[in-house]
A and B are shown apart, each in its own frame.
Chain A
Amino acid sequence: MFDTLTTRLERLGSSLRSRGRLSDADLDEALAEVRAALLEADVELSVVRSFLEAVRERVAGSSLNQSLTPGQYVIKAVHEQLIEVLGGTTLKITYASRPPTVVLLAGLQGAGKTTAAAKLAQWFKQQGRQPLLVGADLQRPAAVEQLRVLGAQIGVDVVSGSGTPVEVARRGVDEAVRLGRDVVVIDTAGRLAIDEALMREVREISAATAPHYTFLVIDAVTGQDAVATARAFHEALALSGVIATKLDYDARGGAVLSARGVVGRPVVFASTGEKLQDFDLFHPDRMASRILGMGDALSLIEQAERTMDAAVVAESAGRLMSGTFTLDDFLAQLNQVRRMGSLGGLMRLMPGVTKEMRAAAANVDDGELNRVEAIIRSMTPRERRDPSVIDGSRRSRIARGSGTTVNAVNQLLRQFGEMRKMMRQMGNGTAPVMPGGRGRPVPTPRQTGSGAEVPAGFEALAAGMRARGSRGPAKGKKKGGRVTPPKQR
C-alpha cells in the first residue's frame, strides 16, 4: 500500500540529482518524506522530531559523495541514525555469582509476556543454563496453565501457586534455590501503565525478588502509545531492556524505536513467530532496514547458511548458471529451500521483491510443493536429465503417477525450461528476460558504497525478481557492501 521510504526518496533524489549538492530546501523536502515514513511506521511523534534533527545534523556535517544521489544520501543518513539509536548500547547478559539470576517480565495485556517467558527460558536452556519459570500472572484466567503447557514443551519446570503474585514470585525464587536452578524467569500479569494499584504490585514483586534483569515486553504493532507505556514501566521498574514481540506481523515496528528512544535501554530479544523457536537476539541493523521497508537480505543469507547444505547448493548453483541444471538438481534445491522455512517467510526477508511476489509466495503451501516434488519423482532418471524426451504419453504417465493433471506437468516443464534459459543468460552476463511476457530487460546494476565486491548472482537475483512486473527499486544490504539496484525509467 505504501511506497517504501527508500522508493520515495529515490524518486525525490532523481529530481535533485543534477544540482550536485543538497540545498536546505532539498533537505527539508527529503526530511518531510522521512517524517511521513517514520510516522507510518508508528514511530512516536516526539521521537520522530528528535530523530529528524539528528539526521539533519548528520547530513549537514559531511560533504556529498559523488556516487550517491541526494536521495540515497539521505537514506544512508537515516539508516545509520536508525542503527545508532536502535543499537547504541547493548546489554550483556551476565549471570549472578550467587545463583539464581532473576529475570522479571512486565508489560501491557496481550503483549506476549507468557509466550516470551517460555521462549526466554528456552534461550537460557540453549545457553546451558537450568532455568525455572514462575507463573505470577494470577489475573488472566488460565495464564499459569498456558505457561505450564509451554514449559512442558520446552522441558522447563513451572512453579506457581496460591497467594498474591508477590508471594508466588518470592516463593518461585526460593524454589529455584532449593532445586539448584540458576535462572528464574518470572511472568507477570499484563497491566496498564496508568493502573496505580497494579503498578504498585509489580514494584512489590520487583522488590521481593530483586531481579537482575527486568524486561519490558512490547508489541511491535503498538502505535504512539508505546512511549507512554515504556516510560511508565521504566519509571516503576528501572528496566534493563526491551523484548520486542510479534515482529512477524507486517507492521514496520516503529514502536520498538520509540520505546528504545524513551527508555534508553537496549532492545535485547525479538520474537518473530508463534513457534517457540522463533526467538532470537535483536539485530538493530535489521530493524532499521525494516522501518525503512528495505527487506532483510542479511537474515535470509544467515538462515540459508544455517540450514542449507553448502556442498549441494554450491554444486547445483554452478550448474544452474552454466545452464546444465537438471530436474534432479531442482529437486535437491527444492528440499534445501524447504529446510529454510516457509516460502512466504523467506520472501518477506528478500529485498527488491514486490508485494505481488510476496503474496504469491505466501500462497504457496506445502501441498503445492509436494505436488511439484511428486511430479518430478514420477519421472524416470533419463526424463529428469533431459526433459525434452517427455512426449505426450510420458506426460500422461507422469500425471497419473503423481496424482496431478497433464496440465500441471506441462506447466512445470515449461516453467523449468524458461527458467533454465534465463539462468543461462544470467550466467553469460546477458540481460535476462523473465518468462510470462511481462518481462523487460534489466539494466546492469550500479555498485556504490565502500567498493566491497558483491558476489555475482546477487544483482542477478535482485534484478531478476524486479523484472517480474515490479514497480520500484529497493535496496539490498549485505555485510560489507551495499547493492544499489538500478533506477527505473
Chain B
Amino acid sequence: MIAIIAIIVALIVVGALAVVVARRRQHRVPPPLAAPPMPEVLVSEPVPRPVLEDAVAPSLRQRLGSSRGVFDRVRALGTRGALSDDVLDVVEEVLLRSDVGVTTTDAIVAQLRTQGAPEGVATALRDILRGSLDRARDVRDQADEGRVAVWLFVGVNGVGKTTTIGKLATRLTAQGRSVVLAAGDTFRAAAADQLALWGERAGADVVRATEGADPGSVIHDALGRAASRGADILLADTAGRRANSTNLLDELRKVRRVADREPGEVVETFLVLDATTGQNALNQAREFLAAAAVTGIVLTKLDGTARGGIVIAIERELEIPVKFVGVGEGAHDLVPFDPDGFVDSLLEA
C-alpha cells in the first residue's frame, strides 16, 4: 500500500500537466511543434506499388554482407599465444552477432585475453564456450510412485510453446508412452484448437476448457484424467505472457502449484525460448526461473539464421540448461540439445 498513494498522486500531477498542456495548446495558434509523422488518410487516391529496385540501400547492404564467415578471418589470422586486439575484435564481433550480449562477450574476451591461445584462437574460444555449457542435461520423465509426471511449458507469446508440446507428444507416444495434454492456454484465441489438432496427430488425449477459463482448473482436470487413465506423463500448456508483469507471473506460480499437487508432480518446467530473441531472453529466463522454477530450456526456431547465442549468457549466469532444440517444422525436428554442435554453429556465424 505504501507506494500506491505516491503513485496515484504522481499520476494526478501528470493529469494536471495534461490539462495545462491542453489549455496552452488552445491558446496557441498552430502548434509550432514537429508533429509526429503520422500516415494521413486520404480517400481514393491511386496507390503506387513499391518497386523492388529502389528497395535496398546498397551501402548498408554491402556492409552487412561482410558479416558472414567472420570466423574464417580469425582462423586465417592463425594466431597462437598472446592475442592481438585485432583478433579479439573479430571474436567480439562473432559473439555479438550471435546475440551472446555485451556483458557476456566482454567477459569471454577478457578470459581469452588472460588465457591466451596456445592452440589457436578458434580452439581457445571453442573451449571457453563449451565450458559455459558444461552441465547435466538429463530430462526427467518419471514421477514418484503413484504420481503423474508433469512437464509444464512456460514462455512469452509466440515462442512456440504449443508447437513444442505437439512435437514432444508425438515423440513420447512414438516411444510407447501414454500422454495427456492439458490446454492451459485459455487466453489466446483458438490455442486449445491448435493443441487438439496436435493431440490428434500424436494420438494423445487432450483436456481443454472454454476460452477464458481458469488455467489452473484445466490442469487440475487434466491431472484427474491422467491419473484415472494411468497415463505416464502430462504435458501442460500455458498462455504466453510477458515476463515483466507480476500479475501474469503470479498466475503462473499458481498454475505450477496446481500442477504439482497430488496426483501430479512437476518433474520438468520448460522455458520455451525463441532463438531469434535478443537480450530480452535473459530477462525472460530470470523472471520465469523465479516464478516457475524453470528446470530446462527448449530453444526453438534454430533452423533460421538466428544463432541463439543468448543461451550462452543464460547458462553462464542462471545455470539453466538447454535441453531440447527445435530445428524444423516437422514433428521429429525437436531434438535433444547438443552443446558441441551448438558451439560449432555459433562459430560458423
Contacts and interface: CB of A to CB of B under 8 A. Distances in A.
A40 B307 CA distance: 17
B52 interface: yes
A285 B17 contact: no
A140 B242 contact: no
Task: Classify chain A: how many residues form its interface, as a range.
Answer: 35 or more
Contacts of A337: 8, 11-12, 15
B15 A415 contact: no
A488 B8 CA distance: 25
Interface in B2-30: 2-22, 24
B281 interface: yes
Interface in A165-198: 192-194
Contact of B46 (A42, A97, A222, A231): A97
Contact of B50 (A87, A214, A246, A281): A214
Interface stretch (A15-23, A65-73, A303-311): A303-311
A457 B17 contact: yes
A46 B6 contact: no
Given A223-B277, A350-B14, A415-B1, A357 B7 contact: yes
B280 A250 contact: yes
B19 to A, nearest CB: 5
A347 interface: yes
Contacts of B247: 344, 362, 365
A122 interface: no
B3 A95 contact: no
Interface stretch (B76-84, B108-116, B139-147, B152-160): B152-160
B194 interface: yes
B190 A142 contact: yes
Interface stretch (B61-69, B128-136, B222-230): B61-69
Contacts of A478: 21
A9 interface: no
B246 A359 contact: yes
B338 to A, nearest CB: 20
Contacts of A479: 21, 31, 33
A29 interface: no
A468 interface: yes
A320 B22 CA distance: 19
A362 B158 contact: no
A334 interface: yes
Interface stretch (A56-64, A234-242, A382-390, A441-449): A234-242
B107 interface: no
A303 B102 CA distance: 35
Interface of B: 1-22, 24, 31-33, 36-47, 49-52, 55-57, 60-61, 63-64, 67, 93, 96-99, 101-102, 156-160, 163, 166, 187-191, 193-194, 196-198, 211, 242-247, 274-281, 283, 301, 303-307, 310, 329
Given A193-B305, A251-B280, A333-B15, 16 more contacts: A41-B279, A42-B278, A93-B40, A94-B42, A142-B191, A149-B211, A150-B189, A249-B242, A281-B39, A301-B17, A337-B12, A344-B246, A368-B1, A415-B6, A419-B9, A479-B21
